[in-house]
Amino acid sequence: MTPDSLVERLVLTGTAPDSEIILLVKEAGLQRLAGVLVDEVLFRCEDPVNTTAVDVALEVTHGDELRRTVLRMVRGEPIRVLDADDPSVLIRRHFRFALPDLVRRLYGPAQPPHSRDFTDVFLPERPADLSELPQILQATHQAGGTLLSGCTTGGPGLGALSVAYGSDKWASFHWYTQHYEHHFARYRDRPVRVLEIGIGGYAGDLGGPSLKMWKRYFHRGLVYGLDLFDKSALDQPRLTALTGDQGDPDTLRELAEKHGPFDIIIDDGSHENEHVRISFDALFPYVRPGGLYVIEDLQTAYWPRFGGTAGAETAPDTSIGLLKRLLDDLHYAEFDPKPEGARTVTQAQVIAVHTYHNIAFVEKGVNGESSIPAWMDDEAWKALGAITPEEGRELGRSR
Ligand SMILES: C[S@@+](CC[C@H](N)C(=O)[O-])C[C@H]1O[C@@H](n2cnc3c(N)ncnc32)[C@H](O)[C@@H]1O
C-alpha cells in the first residue's frame, strides 16, 4: 500500500464500520497508521498559547499495542515531536485514544463526539517546586486544549483559515470566503477531491496557503494544486502539488485522468481570459456530477492586458463571456427554434451559475428540465384561465 492509498483508505474508514478500521490495522500495522493520524493532528492543531513549555503524550492504542508520541508545546514555536528517550522529556499530560475513536474524530462527520472517547491523565507527577504549580497547571491545561484542537473535524471558518495560512481569499483585495462557505458546506463531510489551479507563493516562499486551507476545511478531502512552478516540496498527506501550464489542455486532461474526477475545481491561476476558458473547457468534463467549478478574479474580463474587454460590456472570449454563454446553455431547453444535433457538454450538464462580485460557482448535474410544451399556445393558456400577453398589454394600457 503506497502512503497515498493508505491515507485515502484511512479517510474512507472515518464513516465505515469498525471492522474496516480493524482490517486496515491488520494490513498496515498500528505504528504506521498512528503515524498518519499524528501527522494529521499536528496539521490541525492551533498554535500553542502556553508560555511555559509542556510535554504532552498522544497515545494511540489497538488491543495490547500502544504508540506514544511526545509533543512539546510552547507559544511562538511550532509543536515539536520529541524522542521519548530524550532526557529532557517530562510528560505533564497523557491523552489516550483507541485507534477507531481517533479515526472517527479526524475523518468522521464534523460533529463533536457526544460522549468522552479518550482517557486523560493530568499532571501524573507532583512538580518538584510547588511555587511553580499555578504556572504549570495553567500551561498544562492550555497545552491539552491545543492538542484537542487538532483531534477534531470541526475548526475555524474559512475566513479565519484564509488569514491564518496567508491566502488572499478574504479581508484583502477579495472577500470570497463567505461565498465558499455557502457553496462548500454540503461537501465538508465528504471524502472530496479538490483541484485548485494556482498555488501561490513568492520568492523565498513556496506558497500553498489556500491548499492548506482546503485540507483543513475538508477534513476528509484529497487536495491537489496545479502551478507553472514546481512546488512539490509542499507535498504532504492529502495535499499534492502538481506542475503544469493551465493554458495547455493536454496537460490538464492528463492530470485529470490521473487524479480526477474532482468534486470541486477552483481556477485561481493566471487569470488570463484565454487560460480561464481553456481550463474550463478541458476540466469541466472531469467535475463529478453534483460538483462545482469555481472561477475567481472575474475582474480581468474587463482588463485588456489580461485579454479582457475595455468598457462596460465584455466580449464572448472573456471569463464573463464564458459565464454568459453558460447561462444560455443552462436554458438550452428554451431555445426557439430548437437546435439540431446533440447538446454540448455544458448544455447537457450545467445546472446553475452563481455569480458574485469577481467569483462564480458553476454547478454540474443533469440539465434535464424540459420547456413548457410548444403546443401550449394562447388558446391552451386561455383554457387554464390565463390571459394572453396581448390582453395583458391592453389591460395595462387601459389603467
Ligand atoms: C493568485 S496565485 C494563487 C493563490 C492561491 N490560490 C491562494 O489563494 O493563496 C496565482 C498562481 O498561479 C500560478 N500561475 C500563473 N500562471 C499559471 C499557468 N499558466 N498555469 C498554472 N499556474 C499558473 C502562479 O505561479 C501563482 O502561483
Element (H, E) at 193: strand 193-197
Instruction: Give the CATH number, domain containing residue 357.
Output: 3.40.50.150
Q: Taking residues 321-327, what's their average pLDDT?
A: 98
Could you tell me if residue 222 is inside a domain? yes
> CA–CA separation, 94 vs 68, rounded Å?
9
Residue 399: CA atoms inside 13 Å, Cβ hemisphere, count? 6
Tally of domains in the chain: 2
Grid cell at residue 259: 487524479
Q: Taking residues 60-81, what's their average pLDDT?
A: 96
Choice from 168, 195, 217, 227 to test ligand 1 binding pocket (greatest atom count within 8 A of CB): 227
Statement to judge: residues 21 and 49 lie in one domain: yes
Q: Taking residues 135-157, what's their average pLDDT?
A: 85
> CA–CA separation, 59 vs 41, rounded Å?
12
Lowest mean pLDDT among 262-276, 278-292, 379-393: 379-393
Grid cell at residue 93: 499530560
Q: What pLDDT band is residue 69 in, cutting at 50, 70 and 90? A: very high
* Percent of the chain scoring above 70 in pLDDT: 98
Statement to judge: residues 219 and 338 lie in one domain: yes
Statement to judge: residues 179 and 261 lie in one domain: yes
- Ligand 1 centroid from CA 279, angstroms: 13
Statement to judge: residues 169 and 95 lie in one domain: no
Could you tell me if residue 380 is inside a domain? no
Statement to judge: residues 126 and 275 lie in one domain: no
What letter does residue 205 receive in the DSSP assignment? -
Nearest-atom number in ligand 1 for the CA of 167 is 9
Statement to judge: residues 252 and 309 lie in one domain: yes
Residue 212 has pLDDT above 80, yes or no: yes
Statement to judge: residues 307 and 168 lie in one domain: yes
> CA–CA separation, 155 vs 46, rounded Å?
9
Could you tell me if residue 369 is inside a domain? no
CA 11 to chain CA mean position, Å: 14
Structural domain for 80, as ranges: 3-149
The residues that are catalytic are: 271
* Per-residue confidence (pLDDT) for residue 301, from 0 to 100: 98
Instruction: Give the CATH number, domain containing residue 55.
Output: 3.30.1050.30
Statement to judge: residues 225 and 144 lie in one domain: no
163: helix, strand or coil:
helix
Statement to judge: residues 106 and 234 lie in one domain: no
Residue 267 has pLDDT above 90, yes or no: yes
Residue 96 has pLDDT above 70, yes or no: yes
Could you tell me if residue 145 is inside a domain? yes
Statement to judge: residues 122 and 181 lie in one domain: no
Statement to judge: residues 167 and 258 lie in one domain: yes
For 134, list phi and psi in degrees, rounded to 5.
Answer: -60, -45
Q: Of 114, 149, 184, which marks where a domain is finished?
A: 149
- Ligand 1 centroid from CA 240, angstroms: 15
Mean pLDDT, the chain, integer: 93
> CA–CA separation, 54 vs 142, rounded Å?
9
Could you tell me if residue 393 is inside a domain? no
Grid cell at residue 57: 503524550
240 lines ligand 1 (CB under 6 A): no
Grid cell at residue 210: 489556500
* Per-residue confidence (pLDDT) for residue 202, from 0 to 100: 80
| Contacts (Cβ under 8 Å, ≥6 apart) of 110 | 153, 154, 188, 189, 219
173 lines ligand 1 (CB under 6 A): no
The strand pairing partners of 226, in sequence order, are: 197, 242
Could you tell me if residue 375 is inside a domain? no
Residue-wise pLDDT for 352-384, tens only, equals: 999 999 999 999 999 999 999 989 999 999 999
Q: Of 97, 114, 149, which marks where a domain is finished?
A: 149
> CA–CA separation, 281 vs 278, rounded Å?
5
* Percent of the chain scoring above 90 in pLDDT: 79
E strand intervals along 257-349: 262-267, 287-296
Q: Taking residues 195-221, what's their average pLDDT?
A: 93
Could you tell me if residue 67 is inside a domain? yes
198 lines ligand 1 (CB under 6 A): yes
248 lines ligand 1 (CB under 6 A): no
Sign of CA dihedral 61, 64, 69, 73: positive
For 7, list phi and psi in degrees, rounded to 5.
Answer: -60, -40
Could you tell me if residue 121 is inside a domain? yes
* Per-residue confidence (pLDDT) for residue 164, from 0 to 100: 83
Grid cell at residue 269: 491561476
Q: Of 98, 123, 149, which marks where a domain is finished?
A: 149
Residue 148 has pLDDT above 90, yes or no: no
Comparison of pLDDT for 142 and 231, the residue scoring more: 231
Statement to judge: residues 23 and 115 lie in one domain: yes
